[in-house]
Amino acid sequence: MKRVWSALLALVMALSLAACGGTSTGGGGTGADEENGGTEVRVLSFGHAQSDTHLFNDTVLKFKDLLEEKSGGAMSVDVFANGTLGNEREMAESLQIGTLDMCISAVATLSGFDSNLDVFNFPYLFESSEHAYKVLMGDLGYELFKPLEESNGIKYLGQVDLGFRSMTNNERPIYTPNDCKGLRMRTMESSICVESLSALGIDAVSMSFGELFTALQTGAVDGQENPISVIYSSRFYEVQKYLSMTEHLYPVSPILMSMQTWNSLSEEEQGWVSEAMAEALDWSWEESATQIDTMKQELADNGMEINEVDKAPFIKATQVVYENYQDQYGELIARIKAALKSTLDS
């Protein structure tokens, strides 16, 4: 079935790129650019599952502008938002076979390729976005993503900051773990994510993000958990009443590139991509904090009731998840905690 999907996705990519004026060469394309003196332009295809108003899209567009600037118009990017090229797993699989150049994917999806990456799905692992940045954009972060490159043909380029995931529902505001009991809530496709919510008494349901709005609208689930930016850009305020700032999970959302694409680039082109991405991510991390504050206010303006929570009882209730996975992830968690401590001490 995966081979059939990959073939269909490759056809979609070829047609999409052709419509954009490029000739498909694997995931990316080349085409003559009249504004660039008729020289060929290397066009990278970049997919993500969020809307075109989401920070993901803003970040990709920033990368596109910077890449065009640094390459003098020799390279560009075609952006495919809203899951146009499939869900996150399907896009990651497309990176593997070279029918897509770049994408953004939740680490919960990538743990299906490398189970060690599931370590980032433990609740309350990071204390702040700044702490997450120090690990994910530092030596340890790149080390932990290296097996994805070596065994799966997917290169890690950095991390987009979305702030922390919090809970929404239609039944009641959540102030304590006791308020969670009996709520049916969608979460990501990760056993650690499911067990984290279950530890709070939630009936946790895994489903693809594309199904979520309808599930909330029809009452198939009572609620969900996501960053503020996703709650806002996906218009969940239309189908959810309460937003409780549990901030229980930092959503690791890496930017990825097909190794087939990376290896096909010249050293100069790789330099342009790396420099443009580094600058785009610096911009994105600064923009994130501003957007989160603005979006939170707009959610309230659109009728959501927002409440803060004391996180201590939630941290205590979810410690059982760490205990259950101590043998498998204890060493990695200790290394992440040590890296955080070293950044605080420096």
Tens digits of residue pLDDT in 240-288: 999 999 999 999 999 999 999 999 999 999 999 999 999 999 999 999 9
Fold agreement (2-109+129-161+252-287, 165-250+293-345): yes
Section 15-33 average pLDDT: 47
What confidence tens digit (pLDDT) does each residue in 41-92 have?
999 999 999 989 899 999 999 999 999 999 999 999 999 999 999 999 999 9
Alpha-carbon separation of residue 263 from 215, 259, 266 (angstroms): 41, 6, 8
- Three-class SS state of 326: helix
pLDDT at 29: 64
Q: Which residue has the tokens 């060493």?
A: 331
Annotated domain spans of the chain:
2-109+129-161+252-287, 165-250+293-345
Helix (H) or strand (E) holding 101: none
**Cβ of 25: how many Cβ atoms within 10 Å?**
16
Edge-to-edge strands, sheet with 203-206: 203-206, 184-187, 223-227, 165-169, 242-249, 305-308
What is the identity of the amino acid at 173?
P
The pTM score is 0.84
Superfamily of domain 165-250+293-345: Bacterial extracellular solute-binding protein, family 7 (3.40.190.170)
- CATH of the structural domain 2-109+129-161+252-287, one choice from 3.10.129.10, 3.50.50.60, 3.40.190.170, 3.40.1390.10: 3.40.190.170
Is residue 317 within 8 A of residue 100, CB to CB? The reply is no
What's the Rg (C-alpha) of the chain? 20
Number of H helices, E strands in the chain: 14, 13
